[in-house]
């Protein structure tokens, strides 16, 4: 995995989103390793905490592109929060996207604007740098390596994303799983426009 390039992608998308969405202060970014959650087909992928102004993204077993799309989605919620548009009253339990009208609207906006932000950033990047198509897909990030390479510092300096590494909890088995995942991930990436994943 080329850490420099993965880092660049986070940083690049973050800046692009900030310019487009207009949020003032980048949120804290928590990258969460949770191997149990990763085994669940409909496990958690990401969430935004309006009080702490933080984005949490679950990283285990996920394609880098999918993780970045989650980031774009949650940055819409962050913008909504900064603008006082994230209504925290009303029903927040299971099925809130269907049962709470205001939150449903927030979700609609996050899916539409988040995904299109990601798409436009991605297409722009490929236009500026056509060789990126042929570069080896970055393995799902190993948070251990990230720590070693002080990605936190780099992200904070470049874009202002503060990362809370206290949230990381990488088990030894996860490391083994990583190795297996790496072998399986060498397959060429296909265009994946189909399928709007849960963000
Ligand atoms: Zn959402």
Distance in Å, CA 183 to ligand 1 centroid:
32
CATH number at residue 81: 3.30.2010
pLDDT of residue 159: 59
Distance in Å, CA 134 to ligand 1 centroid:
31
| CA-based nearest residue to 73, from 99, 97, 101, 92 | 97
End residue of a domain, out of 101, 136, 171? 136
Distance in Å, CA 136 to ligand 1 centroid:
30
Distance in Å, CA 74 to ligand 1 centroid:
6
Q: What would the pLDDT profile of 153-163 be if each residue is shown by its tens digit?
A: 545 555 556 65
Distance in Å, CA 63 to ligand 1 centroid:
19
| Residue 125 located in a structural domain | yes
6 falls in which pLDDT band (50, 70, 90)?
confident
Looking at the structure, tell me whether residues 75 and 172 fall in a common domain.
Answer: no
Looking at the structure, tell me whether residues 170 and 98 fall in a common domain.
Answer: no
Average of per-residue pLDDT across 10-34: 93
Looking at the structure, tell me whether residues 104 and 14 fall in a common domain.
Answer: yes
Counting residues of the chain whose pLDDT is more than 90, the rounded percentage is 43
Distance in Å, CA 198 to ligand 1 centroid:
8
Average of per-residue pLDDT across 12-20: 96
User: How many domains is the chain partitioned into structurally?
Assistant: 2
Distance in Å, CA 35 to ligand 1 centroid:
22
Distance in Å, CA 77 to ligand 1 centroid:
7
Distance from C-alpha of 155 to C-alpha of 158, rounded to nearest angstrom = 5
Q: Model-level pTM?
A: 0.70
Looking at the structure, tell me whether residues 38 and 89 fall in a common domain.
Answer: yes
Distance in Å, CA 103 to ligand 1 centroid:
9
Q: What would the pLDDT profile of 134-190 be if each residue is shown by its tens digit?
A: 666 555 555 555 554 445 554 555 555 665 555 554 433 444 444 444 444 333 444
Q: What would the pLDDT profile of 38-54 be if each residue is shown by its tens digit?
A: 999 999 999 999 999 99
Domain around 102: 7-136
Looking at the structure, tell me whether residues 104 and 147 fall in a common domain.
Answer: no
Lowest mean pLDDT among 20-29, 56-65, 142-151: 142-151
Looking at the structure, tell me whether residues 32 and 66 fall in a common domain.
Answer: yes
Who's near 54: CB < 8 A, 6+ residues apart? Answer: 27, 28, 29, 30, 48, 164
Distance in Å, CA 191 to ligand 1 centroid:
23
């Amino acid at each position: 995995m080329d850490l420099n390039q993965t880092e660049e992608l986070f940083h690049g998308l973050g800046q692009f989103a900030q310019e487009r969405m207009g949020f003032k202060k980048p949120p804290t970014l928590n990258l969460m390793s949770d191997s149990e959650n990763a085994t669940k087909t409909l496990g958690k992928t990401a969430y935004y905490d309006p009080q702490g102004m933080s984005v949490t993204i679950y990283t285990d077993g996920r394609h880098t592109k999918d993780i970045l799309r989650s980031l774009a989605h949650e940055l819409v919620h962050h913008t909504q929060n900064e603008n006082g548009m994230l209504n925290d009253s009303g029903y927040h339990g299971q099925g809130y996207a269907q049962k709470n009208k205001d939150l449903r609207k927030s979700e609609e906006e996050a899916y539409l604007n988040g995904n299109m932000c990601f798409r436009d950033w991605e297409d722009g990047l490929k236009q500026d740098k056509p060789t990126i198509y042929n570069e080896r897909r970055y393995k799902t990030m190993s948070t251990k390596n990230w720590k070693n390479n002080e990605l936190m510092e780099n992200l904070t300096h470049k874009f202002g994303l503060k990362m809370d590494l206290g949230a990381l909890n990488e088990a030894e088995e996860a490391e083994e799983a990583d190795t297996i995942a790496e072998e399986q991930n060498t397959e060429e990436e296909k265009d994946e426009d189909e399928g709007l994943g849960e963000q």
